[in-house]
Amino acid sequence: MMAAAIRHDWRETLPAARGRVTFDAPLGASTWFRVGGPAEYLLRPQDDDDLARFLAALSPELPVTVIGAASNLIIRDGGIPGIVIRLARGFGDVAIEADGLVAGAAALDVTIADHAAAAGLGGLEFLSGIPGSLGGAIAMNAGAYGGEIRDVLDWAEIVGRDGSINRLSAADLALSYRHATLPPGGIVLRVRLFAHPDEPVAIAARMAAIKANREASQPIRARTGGSTFRNPDGHKAWQLIDQAGCRGMVIGDAQVSEKHCNFLINRGAATAADLEALGDAVRARVLAETGIELRWEIRRLGVKPGGAR
């Protein structure tokens, strides 16, 4: 249940929505780590208009958090106060065009890569190696295997906290390493990505190589959240972690992966607190051993038990 210290009775003042609003909604089981507390309120909007109207009428006092596939995310054990918005059905369509595609923010990155491949469009194969959904990929300029979002982004439609919808270019978003400058409170709705005609056999071969590389080098079948820390300039995070002797390090039931030590793993009974404490312990040891400060790439949302953020 949501920690009493952060619970508010907003139910009578929430705007109407055609989508589903759930109070005290469990979230942990739907994250890749399988940890975390509930959302105070969870909204699954039906479509763009439903979300825009809801946001426009929402009290500015109520905090809003957006989550996607929850692949690169730790939700703290005390849950997330305010309203959590999760885009799902109605936000996952993919439409193929001659030189690219338009996809909803809830479309999975791998699904987008599959659609492009089936249409004989190249240049988006790298998305098959990125867990998560397109909205999150835009928000952090996700990248892997030689490609990143800023290489292929044409525009993104974004709804603001005031309910307005605007189309922003890649330049408007000022994409940089694992960062995009979204408008305050902005939520990605849909995106257009550039692609180019290519031989389906060649595209399939590149995607197969990415899949084989991931399976060989990453703990993809474990309860994990992808890369934990950003690569510092001129360094690889996993090498710094290994150098500091953190490979296999354990706190509670959370472990630094033996296979790829920039991945944390829930061995079965870890809490969000275990995972976050382990990440912070790794950061402290790397700083002490190398003088380099690792920055979290995994998002950590919500409050710790007792109300601490």
Q: Cα 127 to chain center, whole Å?
A: 13
Catalytic-residue membership of 71: no
307 neighbors 5 (Cβ within 8 angstroms): yes
Whole-angstrom distance, CA of residue 120 vs CA of residue 206: 13
| Active-site choice (71, 128, 227, 257) | 227
187-194 and 100-104 strand pairing? antiparallel
Q: Give the strand order in the sheet containing 223-224.
A: 223-224, 264-266, 254-256, 250-251
Catalytic-residue membership of 199: no
Task: Identify the residue whose tokens are 């290994």.
Answer: 242
Structure tokens at 109: 């990155």
Catalytic-residue membership of 227: yes
- In DSSP terms, 74 is beta-bridged to 300
| Active-site choice (178, 230, 247, 300) | 178
Whole-angstrom distance, CA of residue 197 vs CA of residue 203: 10
238 neighbors 261 (Cβ within 8 angstroms): yes
107 neighbors 94 (Cβ within 8 angstroms): yes
Q: Any idea which residues carry the catalytic annotation?
A: 178, 227, 297
